[in-house]
Amino acid sequence: MTKANLSLNGTDYEFDVIVGSEGEVGVDFSSLRKTAKAISYDPAFGSTGACSSAITFINGEKGILRYRGYAIEDLAENSTFEEVMFLLVKGELPNAAQLKAFKSQLAEHAEIPDALVEQYKALPKTLHPMAALSSIMVSLSGYYPTTGDEDQDIIRLLAKMKAFVALGYRQSKGQDFVQSKNGENYIADFVEMMFGKTSPALEQAFDQLLILHADHEQNCSASTVRMVGSSQANLYASIASGVNALWGPRHGGANQKVIEMLEMIQNDGGDASKYLSKAQDKSDEFRLMGFGHRVYKNFDPRAKIIKIAADEVLDDLGLDNDETLDIAKALEKAALEEEYFKARNLYPNVDFYSGIIYRALGIPTDMFTVMFALGRLPGWIAQWKEWNAEPKSRIHRPRQIYTGPTERKVNPISER
Ligand code: ACO
């Protein structure tokens, strides 16, 4: 095994080098504090690996994303979301018999208790759907206490999640919730529970969107799920924490922010160039939502696929002349041409196009991130399961460099 050397305060230390199956190199600093009395300092973890994982591989420079070795392009074209759920959670693509059994398990657990529907309805109408989803998720531990049968708990969660999304959507439209009727066909069932009807175009769009969002290795929400799971909080609590982490505009919440930004530009006269300048002005906090990515510094492979789907959906719905979408196209064009964006490798990411599709489908903006969560669920579960299966798993507990005052005495209040 290759070694890495570190010289600190005149002493040399040696660390193991670990190499992943795609040649990724990591220095194992887990003994750094014990041996060198120092910690690795990497706020935001840009150079830190928190685990080794066999689930998802990303090469951000080359725009590669693979789930368990299968390219995202291949999966989007040649598999279904049900197969991808199976792949992520169980490790391999299913054969025909396995898929049949998986579908019937999903159907068996697809309904949700009426009490849970009532609980959702009782939540304040002003509550963001991500907050509602997170609270429902934690409540599941009351309805279905974890049994110790991990596979059973996982199937139940995978099967029911689409009902919570449909419930939130129908609630936002003032419509009654409809239980699953066709649970063996996950996507068709979901589309019917949402819109009361389905079509091949809708099913294809949702199938692709969910596949593209299914996992993304150690991003903010997946790391949160692992972090919370490492305390041995149960599956539902761990996944609820992932929902909360996804909510923020720098993560999954960006798809909502994309449309809000496009509408803001439209209401301000539709001048995209004004906002392009604002995005480049360092004294201005404005950022182009749906642009840039921590890992992809070339292009987001999911965005390439979803851009085609977005064009098809807009074409299908006769929306190719929509004013908001014209602004989106102007921003996209600028990002490909203007020096600021080119120099920083800022391209539209998957959220840019998914927001556009959801808007075209009439999904309320604040529901966009909930759609993302539906897709991401199997990824979170796979990450949680992998962490749980780790024989040497310990609670996640980062260190810090303390920069506050050194020890001082509490003065009497009259002297402060
Ligand atoms: N608009 C304008 N400038 C940007 C943007 C943007 N969207 N994103 C990054 N930059 C600039 C930064 O100002 C910085 O410029 P500088 O080098 O001159 O200081 C440079 O590009 C690098 O930016 P960082 O913030 O260091 O990049 P980081 O990797 O930390 O952030 C992030 C990535 C959070 C995605 C960022 O690009 C961003 O805020 N994008 C908008 C929000 C968004 O779309 N989030 C969705 C992410 S994808 C997902 O979760 C599925």
- Interval 177-196: pLDDT, tens: 999 999 899 999 999 999 99
Indicate the pLDDT class of residue 351, thresholds 50, 70 and 90. Answer: confident
Secondary structure percentages of the chain, helix, strand, coil, to 5: 55, 5, 40
Question: What's the gap in Å between 1 CA and the centre of ligand 1?
Answer: 37
Say how far apart CA 274 and CA 29 lie, in whole Å: 47
Residue-wise pLDDT tens digits, 252-278: 988 888 899 999 999 999 888 999 999
Residue-wise pLDDT tens digits, 123-154: 999 999 999 999 999 999 999 988 789 999 99
pTM of the entire predicted model: 0.91
Neighbours of 122 (CB within 10 A): 7
Q: In what order do the strands lie in the sheet with 56-59?
A: 56-59, 64-67, 70-71
Query: Which of 293, 296, 297 gets mutated to test ligand 1 (max ligand atoms within 8 A of its CB)?
Result: 293
Say how far apart CA 196 and CA 207 lie, in whole Å: 17
Between residues 404 and 351, the one the model is more confident about: 404
CB 70 within 8 A of CB 83: no
Question: What's the gap in Å between 233 CA and the centre of ligand 1?
Answer: 32
> Which residue's alpha carbon is at the smallest distance from atom 14 of ligand 1?
344
Per-residue pLDDT at 320 exceeds 80: no
CB 120 within 8 A of CB 167: yes
Neighbours of 1 (CB within 10 A): 7
254 lines ligand 1 (CB under 6 A): yes
Question: What's the gap in Å between 290 CA and the centre of ligand 1?
Answer: 9
Please identify, by atom number, the ligand 1 atom nearest to the C-alpha of residue 350.
51
Say how far apart CA 406 and CA 416 lie, in whole Å: 18
Say how far apart CA 174 and CA 192 lie, in whole Å: 16
Is residue 293 annotated as part of the catalytic site, yes or no? yes
> Which residue's alpha carbon is at the smallest distance from atom 21 of ligand 1?
344
Domain residue extents for the chain? 3-49, 73-392
220 lines ligand 1 (CB under 6 A): no
> Which residue's alpha carbon is at the smallest distance from atom 20 of ligand 1?
344
Indicate the pLDDT class of residue 332, thresholds 50, 70 and 90. Answer: confident
**In this prediction, what percent of the chain has a pLDDT beyond 70?**
100
351 lines ligand 1 (CB under 6 A): yes
What was the pLDDT predicted at 172? 92
What letters, b where the CB count within 10 A reaches 16 and e where it falls short, cover 381-392?
A: bbbbbbbeeeee
Residues 6+ apart with CB under 8 A from 30: none
Question: What's the gap in Å between 174 CA and the centre of ligand 1?
Answer: 37
Say how far apart CA 188 and CA 185 lie, in whole Å: 6
| DSSP state for residue 161 in the 8-state scheme | H
342 lines ligand 1 (CB under 6 A): no
> Which residue's alpha carbon is at the smallest distance from atom 16 of ligand 1?
344
Average predicted confidence (pLDDT) for the chain: 93
What was the pLDDT predicted at 325? 78
CATH number for the region 3-49 comes to: 2.20.28
Closest CA to 261 of 279, 281, 280, 282: 279
Per-residue pLDDT at 322 exceeds 80: no
3-state secondary structure of 306: helix
Which of 153, 215, 300, 351 is an active site residue? 351
Say how far apart CA 358 and CA 313 lie, in whole Å: 10
Query: Which of 283, 346, 380 gets mutated to test ligand 1 (max ligand atoms within 8 A of its CB)?
Result: 346
Query: What angle do the packed helices 368-389 and 350-360 form, to 10 degrees?
Result: 130
Please work out, in degrees rounded to the nearest 5, the angle formed at the alpha carbon of residue 123 by the alpha carbons of 120 and 127: 110
| DSSP state for residue 177 in the 8-state scheme | -
What was the pLDDT predicted at 1? 67
CA separation (Å) from 275 to 134, 267, 292? 34, 12, 16
Which single residue is written with the structure tokens 């449309």? 259
Q: Give the chain's count of helices (H) and strands (E).
A: 18, 6
Phi, psi of 292 (to 5 degrees): 90, 160
CA separation (Å) from 412 to 3, 161, 319, 407, 408? 55, 56, 70, 16, 13
Please work out, in degrees rounded to the nearest 5, the angle formed at the alpha carbon of residue 397 by the alpha carbons of 393 and 400: 150
288 lines ligand 1 (CB under 6 A): yes
Closest CA to 134 of 385, 387, 370, 379: 370
What letters, b where the CB count within 10 A reaches 16 and e where it falls short, cover 267-283?
A: eeeeebeebbeebeeee
Which single residue is written with the structure tokens 């199937």? 155
Beta bridge partners of 4: 15
Per-residue pLDDT at 353 exceeds 90: no
350 lines ligand 1 (CB under 6 A): yes
Q: In what order do the strands lie in the sheet with 3-8?
A: 3-8, 11-19, 25-27
Q: Count Cβ atoms within 10 A of the Cβ of residue 412 and give its class: 0-12 exposed, 13-18 middle, 19 or more buried.
A: exposed
Between residues 48 and 304, the one the model is more confident about: 48
Say how far apart CA 127 and CA 125 lie, in whole Å: 5
Among 152-166, 210-224, 290-304, the minimum mean pLDDT is found in: 290-304
Dig out the tokens for 133 from the structure. 């989803």
375 lines ligand 1 (CB under 6 A): no
Please identify, by atom number, the ligand 1 atom nearest to the C-alpha of residue 282.
13
Beta bridge partners of 352: none
> Which residue's alpha carbon is at the smallest distance from atom 19 of ligand 1?
282
Please identify, by atom number, the ligand 1 atom nearest to the C-alpha of residue 352.
44
3-state secondary structure of 3: strand
Say how far apart CA 59 and CA 166 lie, in whole Å: 34
Is residue 251 annotated as part of the catalytic site, yes or no? no
Which of 213, 216, 293, 300 is an active site residue? 293
CATH number for the region 73-392 comes to: 1.10.580.10
